[in-house]
Amino acid sequence: MKVRGCMTIHPKVQCISYTFEVEHPTLCELILCLAENSDVPSERFNNDLFLVVYNRDNKLIGLTQHVLENRKYRTGVMTINPGDEVMIFGMGTTMNRKRSTTEMRATLIEENNKLSKRFKYTLMNIFDSFDVDLDGLLNKQEMNFYTVASGDSELTDQDWEVYLNSFENRDGGLTMKGFIKSHEVEANDPEGNAVADLWHSLHCLGYDTQLSSVYGCSYDIECHTSRPVRMNPRLQYVVKEHRAFILENLYYLGEEDDRFEIRPRLFKTEYFGLLIARREEKYAKETYRIQLSSREHLKINFPHQVDHIIRFADSDSEWVLIASYTVTDMDAQLEYNLEKVQKSASNSTSPSLLRA
């Protein structure tokens, strides 16, 4: 079985997630693969996503740790049960990008009120991204995922009937031609603000002004099981509670670094790693700085810090992600040092460093 999903990491973190529908405990291996999407810049999101499987008690069952080939990652065999969940997370290394050197926007609507060729290609990629069951159509649920993810309200039964009565469809689903035509009709609505509305939708899906998907991607999940299963999709906002339970689970699977008083743990796989600390009460008001002695073959993200500073008091969770990284070479190693930042007695704004 194979399903498709998509993820946006800015302005909101959202993704297509899944719930297993299975009658009995079942052996399963999942393979995550970045899907082809010509709007996503080359090398974007490489090694940046990982898949997790967890149960109703938020206990980790498995995650992608092994690299099969470029842009393809597997969990290894695990046992899944009814109601187990599948979610996609990102390392955040793709968030670091330079601002566009131009404020010029790509053309969406030509002077003849037709959609531009470039925008049609983008709509084709968006259509493919939300075709969860890979049948070449968007059913009502998939179209609703698109509608909500792009910043609009839930699709009603009446809305869906309008789509089916107005645009090309087959077997109860909207075709790609019908999907594109619906946007062309929107572009010609005399009572609407078509260009602004279209750009708002594109921004919500992670597109920049040049129709480059810098904050969004699509992925395929292959499911190999010992018994028949279903993977029921849903559009999921990734919130701090999700991040917290994943960090907690990976913290206890990581290797403790006892060189430092906060004893962070490094959880690493063949293609990514997370350096995680627990915000214990005695360190809750402390501030640290991470210094890298080596970052060769690594792409690193510091999610909550300015100038590599970690302020435990700023964390909204007991579990603090100090840094995440993805590897560009299998021999990559993260070498770092943590130092406590203390304010000087003579100048409260001037920090001094002590080894943590």
Distance CA 317, CA 176 (A): 43
* 3-state class (DSSP) for residue 343: strand
pLDDT at 172 over 90: yes
Write the CATH number for 305: 2.60.40
Q: What is the pTM of this model?
A: 0.91
Say yes or no: 220 and 90 in one domain.
yes
Contact 67, 79 (CB under 8 A): no
- The CA-atom distances, in angstroms, between 213 and each of 123, 237, 290, 336 are 12, 19, 31, 32
Stronger pLDDT, 352 or 130, i.e. the higher one: 130
Q: How many percent of the chain have pLDDT more than 90? A: 72
Q: Which domain holds residue 108?
A: 100-212
Reply yes or no: is the peptide bond before residue 11 cis, omega within 30 of 0: yes
CB proximity list for 193: less than 8 A, separation 6 or greater:
none
Domain assignment present for residue 248? The answer is no
CB proximity list for 63: less than 8 A, separation 6 or greater:
50, 51, 52, 53, 75, 269
Structure tokens belonging to residue 89: 């997370």
Stronger pLDDT, 324 or 343, i.e. the higher one: 324
Say yes or no: 85 and 117 in one domain.
no
176 membership: H or E segment, kind and range? helix 176-187
Domain assignment present for residue 243? The answer is no
Mean of pLDDT values over 57-68: 95
Mean of pLDDT values over 108-113: 90
Of 116, 96, 5, whose CA–CA distance to 51 is shortest?
A: 5
pLDDT at 190: 73
Q: Count of CB atoms within 10 A of residue 110's CB?
A: 12
Confidence label for 350 from pLDDT (cuts 50, 70 and 90): very low
Write the CATH number for 90: 2.60.120
User: How many structural domains compose the chain?
Assistant: 3
Say yes or no: 219 and 275 in one domain.
no
Say yes or no: 160 and 189 in one domain.
yes
Mean pLDDT of the chain, nearest integer: 90
Contact 45, 216 (CB under 8 A): no
Say yes or no: 196 and 223 in one domain.
no
Q: Which amino acid belongs to residue 179?
A: F
Say yes or no: 32 and 93 in one domain.
yes
Write the CATH number for 157: 1.10.238.10
pLDDT at 299 over 90: no
Q: How many percent of the chain have pLDDT more than 70? A: 92
Domain assignment present for residue 251? The answer is no
Please tell me the least confidently modeled range out of 197-206, 297-306, 342-351.
342-351
Sign of CA pseudo-dihedral 289, 295, 301, 306: positive
Mean of pLDDT values over 182-196: 86
Confidence label for 188 from pLDDT (cuts 50, 70 and 90): confident
pLDDT at 300: 86
Say yes or no: 15 and 88 in one domain.
yes
pLDDT at 191 over 80: no
pLDDT at 77 over 50: yes
